[in-house]
Amino acid sequence: MQMPVPNPAVLARKLELVARLRHVLPHDAVIDAPEEVKAYECDALTAYRCAPLVAVLPSSTEEVSEVMKICHNMGVPVVPRGAGTSLAGGALPTADAVILGVARLRETLEVNFPDRYIRVQTGMTNLNVTAEVEGEGFFYAPDPSSQLACAIAGNIAMNSGGAHCLKYGVTTNNLLGVTMVMADGEIVEIGGAEMDAAGLDLLGLICGSEGQLGVVTEATLRILPKPEGARPVLMGFDSNEVAGACVADIIRAGLMPVAIEFMDRPIIRATEDFAKAGYPDCEALLIIEVEGSEDEMADQLARIVEIAKRHDPVVIRESQSAEESTRIWLGRKSAFGAMGQRGDYICLDGTIPVGQLPAVLRRIGELSEEYGHMVGNVFHAGDGNMHPLILFNANEPGQLESAEALGAEILKLCVDVGGCLTGEHGVGVEKRDLMGHQFAPVDLDVQMGVKDVFDPKWILNPSKVFPLDVSASRRAAE
């Protein structure tokens, strides 16, 4: 993975840049000591690291605006950063960049239960949004696995999803409005508390734009009443094909579970060794969760179990208590940790049409053999969002590169069967160089044209999302 050569003219003006930033921000909000900026050298994609020139932690939209004016004026690249939990390197700095962290933007600005929305500063964590409203029986629906730590800013930048988006949608479906600081420091309000903003859907464009179009400092989010209850059922099958067919039948029957999670044998084994959740020894495992009252859940689960039984399951375990539900989810929730015990891993998130599941898993198995890396698959089966985890040993030279090469093969496979490179983690730097496999040059050109409108000097996160050779002329025009 390549990054552009840092701009020597920017590096040479570091002292001036720091002085100007200190002029508009409190002293401790500008971090420039080399040993301190190192804390911002990477996000959760830890394979790539580069300390930024400076990191800033503004406390208000106006401060963000002042920072952007200075950087715009001096031609300094800005890499916005939420909580640094991106798995795609979305917040990876370059040596000539200012990291703009939203960690100090944590206020709740307004909660409105009758109209069902909350307005927050975007440094607030995902889970804290729910904490603000759950006393009144509401919650914020998108639930990325990192929800304890991840910031709303990053959720909006990556259009984050989660296990329950089958029913509730992803961030873009739950976002009503934003306050955004443009590349030149101008502050714009887009959308609001009402449904369907006027004019072009700029909100839809901004959500998932990976810090390419602006810095979102405040957000109005839709909140929903909490369901009466939730209950999972666990089922084991003899083959991926059969489990896949069972998922298809459940969907066709009109059942709308809130989550359908799929785990394959390598993951089942790894999680059993690690978490001892008591999963059966089988080829494929489904965890299906329903919501509602006691009666409704029992009714839905009965229908699901009836369908599953037609597919000769090895085991069906319906949760009878909160404790059992926790145990059923335990293995799934520890899947990443379990794989982490076996070595370093890369986690991909390509999405495929659900019907392609068995064929894709078979091909991943072959590729895994070919490259000599173990691959485990956990999978949001209801929406086709895969999560292959590729194991490697970071201490052995060449292993990261071959694991990445395998990852690239798997993602290309996702595209080739009618899917896409990333379902919820974003492109960042991780999948940047594969974009040409999914998009024709004209498709990328139009997307870059959108960035031209929002950020004509290409100072916002300029070396992400678009392959460097494709964006070279635009970045050079800075």
Partner 1 sequence: MSILAKKKTEFRDARDALAETIRSGGPFALSGNGTSRIGLCFGAELKAPTEGWDYDPSALTLTVAAGVPVAVIEQFLRDENQRLAFEPPRMQGLLDRDGASTIGGVVAGNLSGPRRVAVGACRDFCLGVEFVDGRGEVVKNGGRVMKNVTGLDLVKLMAGSNGTLGLITEVSLKTQPIPECVATLVIEGLTEVAAISAMSAALGTPFDVSGVAHLRGADDGEGAKTFIRLEGFENSVKARIAKLQSVLKSFGESDVEWHAEKNSAIWQGIRDVERFCHSADDVWRVSVKPSEAVALVEAVAPEDVIYDWGGNRLWLITKAGTDVRAKVTSGHATLVRASAETKQRLGVFAPQSQGVAKLSEGLRRKFDPDAKFNRGMMG
Considering only residues 180 through 199, tell me which ones interact with partner 1, judged by CB under 8 A. Answer: 182, 186-190, 192-199
Residues in 213-232 at the binding interface with partner 1, rule: CB under 8 A: 225-228
Residues in 441-460 at the binding interface with partner 1, rule: CB under 8 A: 442-444, 446-447, 449-454
Residues in 13-52 at the binding interface with partner 1, rule: CB under 8 A: none
142 near partner 1, rule: CB under 8 A: no
Let me know the angle formed at the C-alpha of 189 by 222 and 157, rounded to the nearest 5 degrees: 60
**Residues that contact partner 1, how many (by CB under 8 A):** 96
Nearest-approach distance from CB 335 to partner 1, in angstroms: 18
Distance CA 449, CA 438 (A): 18
Query: Contact, 205 vs 154, CB < 8 A?
Result: no
135 near partner 1, rule: CB under 8 A: no
Distance CA 374, CA 370 (A): 10
Q: How much of the chain is in helix, strand and coil states, percent to nearest 5?
A: 40, 20, 40
- H or E stretch including 225? strand 224-225
- H or E stretch including 136? none
Comparing CB distances to partner 1, the nearer of 317 and 380 is 380
Interface stretch with partner 1, choices 56-64, 122-130, 159-167, 277-285 (CB under 8 A): 159-167
Specify the length of the chain in residues. 478
Residue 326 token pair: 């926790």
Considering only residues 79, 95, 105, 354, which one is a binding residue for partner 1 as defined by CB under 8 A? 354
264 by Cβ neighbours in 10 Å (0-12 / 13-18 / 19+) ranks as buried
**Which residue from 62, 60, 54, 56 is spatially nearest to 15, judged by alpha carbons?**
54
Nearest-approach distance from CB 267 to partner 1, in angstroms: 19
Return the half-sphere exposure (C-beta side, CA atoms, 13 A cut-off) of residue 231: 21
Helix, coil or strand: residue 385: strand
Interface stretch with partner 1, choices 57-65, 276-284, 346-354, 395-403 (CB under 8 A): 346-354
423 near partner 1, rule: CB under 8 A: yes
257 near partner 1, rule: CB under 8 A: no
464 near partner 1, rule: CB under 8 A: no
201 near partner 1, rule: CB under 8 A: yes
Interface stretch with partner 1, choices 2-10, 123-131, 208-216, 332-340 (CB under 8 A): 208-216
424 near partner 1, rule: CB under 8 A: yes
For the chain, the farthest-separated pair of C-alpha atoms sits apart, in whole angstroms, at 71
Distance CA 66, CA 79 (A): 15
Considering only residues 273, 418, 472, 477, which one is a binding residue for partner 1 as defined by CB under 8 A? 418
169 near partner 1, rule: CB under 8 A: yes
Interface stretch with partner 1, choices 8-16, 72-80, 162-170, 395-403 (CB under 8 A): 162-170
Which parts of 310-397 fold into alpha helices (H)? 322-333, 335-342, 357-371
Residues in 304-323 at the binding interface with partner 1, rule: CB under 8 A: none
Nearest-approach distance from CB 259 to partner 1, in angstroms: 13
Query: Contact, 261 vs 287, CB < 8 A?
Result: yes
436 near partner 1, rule: CB under 8 A: no
470 near partner 1, rule: CB under 8 A: no
